[in-house]
Amino acid sequence: MKKSSNNVTIIDVASEAGVSYTTVSRVINNKENVRPETRERVLMAMTRLGYVVDQRARSLAGGRSQVIGLLVHDVGTSYIGEIIRGIDAELASAQYDLILYTTHRRKTKESAYVATLTRGLADGLLLVLPRNPGAYLETLRQYHFPHVLIDHRGLDEETPAVAAANRQGAYNATKYLIELGHQRIGFITGAMDQVCAQDRLEGYKAALVDHGIAFDPELVYEGDFFQPSGYTGASALLELPRPPSAIFASNDVSAFGVMEAVREHHLHIPEDISVVGFDDIPQAAHVHPPLTTVRQPLEEMGRIATRMLLEYIADPHLPVERVELPTELVIRQSCQPPKSWEGGG
């Protein structure tokens, strides 16, 4: 790496301070049993020489690397962005750094990849919404490598995880639409290989049933959480012989697609059709009209997962913890009672 010539090491500091290198190490790591004046002398020498610890060496020798890994499939979405923000905040106070692994890029066998991670620089791993968690989790568990899942319930009860109350959120949003008077409510699903997408669909169905509305498969369009799927899904729903008076999309981004489709059909939100999203990403408040959506506490999820992970790193034998954070319906201006509705309740 040839990191310049002025690599001042623990040994340089030691001779500058007139002590052994172990003592310097003790000072760095705030170990006890160092005489105050010695500590002081070492500290002085360190600043005088501009010493800074080499994480690689430290980690190799058995310490912590002070780095945690974050495994995501795509950076750059505001969904991930919000989560990272929470992680970062929590990491900052623990003096940890963050290494980013994106899954979409590797060709290697997933489990082999995870093995690399565990040998790598990270002390622990955060996984956001992994596509095929099986491959990862098994390896991680086998290596006893600290890890926490975000926005995913994992394979079984033995996986530490932080998720949102997806089912409940979808239930409440659907209930809200029903109570506004909607009877035909379209639903755009997320990527159905993901548990959260399944949960949201379930919540939607449950609310219908609980309110005496028959579930109509015709009103459900299988999407994938991306905007185009919201667009095509809504287009299909709007062209039904009996179109819905409201559409509930499984995330905000696909709700934006729905809004686009509605506009192209020369209909207005919320006068002609109500729209609800899920996530409450920042721009949900800033589209027109502002989107009513189910708020997922993304930043907090990142925060809590990080806190859990740091605890596992400190003590790998802590019991498995699984957190489900509440979701909250954020009512904005994209919903109103359907046109045909004659009031009452």
Q: Which chain residues interact with a second copy by CB under 8 A?
A: 1-4, 6-7, 50, 52-57, 59-60, 62-65, 67, 74-78, 80-82, 84-85, 88-89, 92, 97-102, 105-106, 112, 115-116, 118-121, 123, 142-145, 227, 256, 259-260, 263, 283, 286-288, 316
Candidate list 43, 63, 236, 300; residue touching DNA; CB under 7 A: 63
Contacting range for DNA; rule: CB under 7 A; set: 32-40, 233-241, 258-266, 282-290: 32-40
- 26 near DNA, judged by CB under 7 A: yes
- 21 near DNA, judged by CB under 7 A: yes
In the list DNA, a second copy, none, the entry touching 34 (Cβ below 5 to 8 angstroms by class) is: DNA
CB nearer to a second copy: pick between 162 and 219: 162
Residue 52's closest CA among 3, 95, 8?
Answer: 8
CB of 91 to a second copy, least distance (A): 8
Candidate list 16, 45, 51, 307; residue touching DNA; CB under 7 A: 51
Dmax of the chain from CA atoms? 89
Residue 268's closest CA among 229, 297, 238?
Answer: 238
> Do you find a cis peptide bond into 270, omega within 30 degrees of 0?
yes
- 112 near DNA, judged by CB under 7 A: no
Grouping H, G, I as helix, E, B as strand and the rest as coil, residue 277 is strand
CB of 70 to DNA, least distance (A): 24
**Contact between 19 and 11 (Cβ < 8 Å):** no
- 15 near DNA, judged by CB under 7 A: no
- 120 near DNA, judged by CB under 7 A: no
Grouping H, G, I as helix, E, B as strand and the rest as coil, residue 32 is coil
**Contact between 326 and 167 (Cβ < 8 Å):** no
In the list DNA, a second copy, none, the entry touching 121 (Cβ below 5 to 8 angstroms by class) is: a second copy
Q: What are phi and psi of 266, to 5 degrees?
A: 55, 35
**Contact between 160 and 191 (Cβ < 8 Å):** no
**Contact between 146 and 180 (Cβ < 8 Å):** no
Residues 6+ apart with CB under 8 A from 94: 310
**Contact between 17 and 37 (Cβ < 8 Å):** no
- 290 near DNA, judged by CB under 7 A: no
Using CB under 7 A as the criterion, which residues of the chain lie in contact with DNA when the complex forms? Answer: 7, 9-11, 18-23, 25-26, 28-29, 32-35, 38-39, 51, 53-54, 57-58, 60-63
